[in-house]
Structure 1
Amino acid sequence: MAAFHVVIPARMASSRLPGKPLAAVAGCPLIAHVIARAKESRASRVIVAADDERILDVARQCGVEAFPTEADLPSGTDRIAAVAAAEGWGDESIVVNLQGDEPLTPGPLLDDLARLLADTPDADMATFGVPIVRPEDLADPNQVKLVTDASGRALYFSRAPIPWDREAHREGRAPALDQATRHLGVYAYRAGFLRRMSAEAPAALEQLEQLEQLRALAMGAWIQVGRRGDAHPPGVDTPEDLDRVDALLSGRARV
C-alpha cells in the first residue's frame, strides 16, 4: 500500500478533562495507548505533536518521534500542519490524523483510511462513516452526522439530524435510518491540502457547528467517505469516558 505517516496531536489544556494525555489508563498514560494503536498500523512514521514536554517524553519512551509545537496553535489540524511543514512533506504525501484521546482506534483502520485516500486520487481528504441504528443517536448533537453524494464524496457534516425525514416527522413516527450515517472523527490528508487548510481562517459554518471539516468543504475540498459496518468504541472527552476506557483496557469490561 502507499506510504503514509500518522501524526498524533495532543494538548494538556482540555476544558473538560485537563491533563488528559497523561491521565492514567490501565496503568499507563492515555497517550501511550494511542501510540500503541498507531504502532499497530503500517505507517512509515508515527509522530506525536504536542506543546508539553511531558507528553513528548512519553512519546519518546514509547519509541516514536516527538515534535514540539507552539502552545497557541488552535487545533489538532494546525499541529499536524506544523509537522508537515517542518518535515517538508510533498503535496501528495498522505498524513493520517489520530487524535490523542482515541486509545481504542484499531491500527488497521488507519491503514484502511490511508488506502482510501490513495485510491481516490482527486480527493483532498478521506474519512469514515458508520450506520446509525437508533433514532436517539440521529438526534444526539454530540454524534456528528454526514451525507454524501452517490460516489461517497462528502456533501455536509452536521450535529443536527441529517438527512431529515420530513414525512416521518409530519406523521409522528420514528425516522427512516437507512441513509443516516455517523461520522468517525479520523482523517487522512494530502499534505498540500493540509497546509492550505491550516492557512485559512475558520469558515462561518465551521464556527456555527464547531466542526473543523466544514472549513475544508467551504474551501471546495473533496472529502471521500468510506463506509464501515460498525464503530470502534469512542474516545475520551470526560471523566466518565476515562473511567469507561480504563475499565475496557484493564479487562474489567467488554468492548
Structure 2
Amino acid sequence: MKIIAVIPARYGSTRFPGKPLVQLKDKPLIQWVIEGAKSAKLVSDIYVATDDQRIADAVTAAGGKFLMTRSECPTGTDRIYEATQKLDFDVVLNIQGDEPQITAEYIDLLAKAFIDQPSLDMATLAHPIALEDIENLNAVKVIKNANHEAIYFSRFAIPYSREKVAGTPVCEKHIGLYGYSKNFLNKFCTSEQSAIEKAESLEQLRALHLGAKIKVLSVKKPIQGVDTPEDLAKLEKMLS
C-alpha cells in the first residue's frame, strides 16, 4: 500500500492571512509542519499543495516538495485532490498546514489504520477536550459511535444537554489530520459541498453527508494548532 502525505497551504486565510509564512520562533509555520511530517515512517512521499509562489519558495527553502493549485479550491481536501491528479498512491493523508506540532506519533497512527483496514474510506484523529474548549467555536468537536466512527462534527458544544452534566465530556476535540482512500477522495471531491458542510464550515461533514464511515482514532496528547494570531502567541510561549 502506497501512502502519501499532502499539506494544503493557502495564503489567503480568512482568519489569518499569510499564515503558512508567519514566523514561529526561528522558522516559518509551514517548515514546522514539513519537518514534523518527515518524521513519519509509513509515508512514502510528502508534498505541500499551495496556490502561492511565496509559500512554494518557503517549501523549497525548507527542503520540501510542492504542487501548485488554483486559489479557488473550496477546501484543503479539494486542493489535495487537484494537486494529486497525476500521482500514484492508494491513500493520501491530509496534514493541515497550521499544525506545527505534528509528529510521526500522529501521522503513522493514521497511516496504520489503513494498513490494518484497507477498506477504510476515511480516518481522522481526536483527543480529550479541555472544558474551556467546549464553547470555543474554533475548537471542532466530534462525537463517535460504539465502532469509533464519527456521528457528527461541530464547532458548537455537542451533544446538547438540557441539564448540566458533570464528569467527562461526551465529545472529543478533533485534530485536523485526515486520511482518504484514493477512491473516496475522488468521490468526495467530485460531489457538491453539502448544506451542513457550508453551515459549519467543516469539510468532513461532506463525507458524512455522502454516507462515509469516518474512523476516529483517539490519542491522549493534544497538539496546539494555529487558527488565529492569538494561537500563534500561545504556541510561542509554550515553546519558550
Same fold judged by TM-score > 0.5?
Answer: yes
AA aligned to 1:200 is S
The match for 1:143 is 139
The one-character-per-residue Cα deviations of 1:142-191 (angstroms, maximum 9, x if unpaired) are 2222122211111111222222344xx1xxx4444253322112101112
Alignment of 1:1-255 (within 5 A): 2-42=1-41, 43-89=43-89, 93-134=90-131, 136-166=132-162, 169=163, 173-177=164-168, 179-232=170-223, 234-249=224-239, 252=240
Contact 2:50 2:56 in 1 (8 A): yes
Structure 1: runs of 5 or more not aligned = none
Describe the SS at the equivalent of 2:114: helix
Describe the SS at the equivalent of 1:46: strand
How far is 1:133 from its partner? 4.6
Contact 1:25 1:246 in 2 (8 A): yes
How far is 1:67 from its partner? 0.7
Distance in 2 (alpha carbons) for counterparts of 1:137 and 1:244? 15
Distance in 1 (alpha carbons) for counterparts of 2:232 and 2:59? 20
Contact 2:24 2:236 in 1 (8 A): yes
Distance in 1 (alpha carbons) for counterparts of 2:169 and 2:75? 33
The one-character-per-residue Cα deviations of 1:51-106 (angstroms, maximum 9, x if unpaired) are 111211222222221111112212111111112212143xxx11111111111112
How far is 1:117 from its partner? 2.7
Contact 1:120 1:224 in 2 (8 A): no
Describe the SS at the equivalent of 1:146: strand
Distance in 2 (alpha carbons) for counterparts of 1:245 and 1:102? 11
Describe the SS at the equivalent of 1:16: coil
- Using the size of structure 1 for normalisation, the TM-score is 0.87
Distance in 1 (alpha carbons) for counterparts of 2:197 and 2:177? 17
- Using the size of structure 2 for normalisation, the TM-score is 0.92
Structure 2: runs of 5 or more not aligned = none
Describe the SS at the equivalent of 1:33: helix
**Distance verdict in 2 for CA 1:160–1:242, change over 3 Å:** closer
Q: Larger Cα Rg: Structure 1 or Structure 2?
A: 1
Describe the SS at the equivalent of 2:196: helix
Contact 1:9 1:100 in 2 (8 A): yes
Describe the SS at the equivalent of 1:161: coil
- State the Cα RMSD in Å: 1.8
Identity %: 40
Contact 2:33 2:98 in 1 (8 A): yes
Q: How many correspondences in the alignment?
A: 239
